[in-house]
């Protein structure tokens, strides 16, 4: 990164991380209840993984997305012989998505995003007040 990080760089990275978190939860919710005929084809929930990034120049610490990974949760096997996707034994495999947990994830990421918006707004107001004093 060229030059030391500023408050705005830290906020931008935090907001980007929360956006990745929200998009993953939205994708998981969109695929909740989806079924396939084989376990290998079943949708697996996505989970973002974050890591700390420290700026040695000024000591500011921020977040970066180190990756988005598929959960290793096993799909739910359900007997549904009338389903056109059922295998030869009449089973379908449903995505292992917990809708309640995904909604909590979305709400939490939205709150964290809003917190960063508020922090930026406060920083802006403080800068304006400082400029008025001079």
* pLDDT tens sequence across 1-43: 466 788 888 899 999 999 999 999 999 999 999 999 999 999 9
Residues 6+ apart with CB under 8 A from 60: 4, 5, 7, 9, 10, 54
Predicted pLDDT of residue 1: 47
Mean pLDDT to the nearest integer, 81-103: 94
The helix (run of H) or strand (run of E) holding residue 104 is helix 99-133
Q: What pLDDT band is residue 108 in, cutting at 50, 70 and 90?
A: very high
More confident residue, 55 or 102: 102
pTM: predicted TM-score of the whole model, two decimal places: 0.84
Predicted pLDDT of residue 60: 82
Q: Which of 75, 78, 77 is nearest to 96 (CA)?
A: 75
Predicted pLDDT of residue 55: 82
Q: Which two tokens stand for residue 111?
A: 């709150």
CB 54 within 8 A of CB 61: yes
């Amino acid at each position: 990164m060229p030059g030391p990080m500023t408050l705005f760089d830290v906020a931008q990275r935090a907001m980007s991380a929360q956006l990745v978190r929200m998009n993953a939860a939205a994708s998981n919710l969109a695929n909740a209840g989806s079924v396939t005929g084989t376990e290998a084809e079943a949708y697996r929930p996505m989970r973002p993984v974050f890591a700390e990034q420290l700026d040695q120049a000024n000591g500011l610490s921020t977040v970066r997305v180190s990756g988005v990974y598929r959960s290793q949760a096993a799909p739910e096997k359900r007997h549904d012989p009338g389903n056109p996707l059922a295998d030869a034994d009449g089973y379908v495999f449903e995505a292992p998505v917990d809708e309640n947990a995904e909604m909590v994830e979305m709400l939490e990421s939205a709150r964290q995003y809003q917190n960063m918006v508020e922090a930026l707004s406060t920083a802006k107001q403080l800068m304006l007040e400082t400029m008025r004093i001079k």
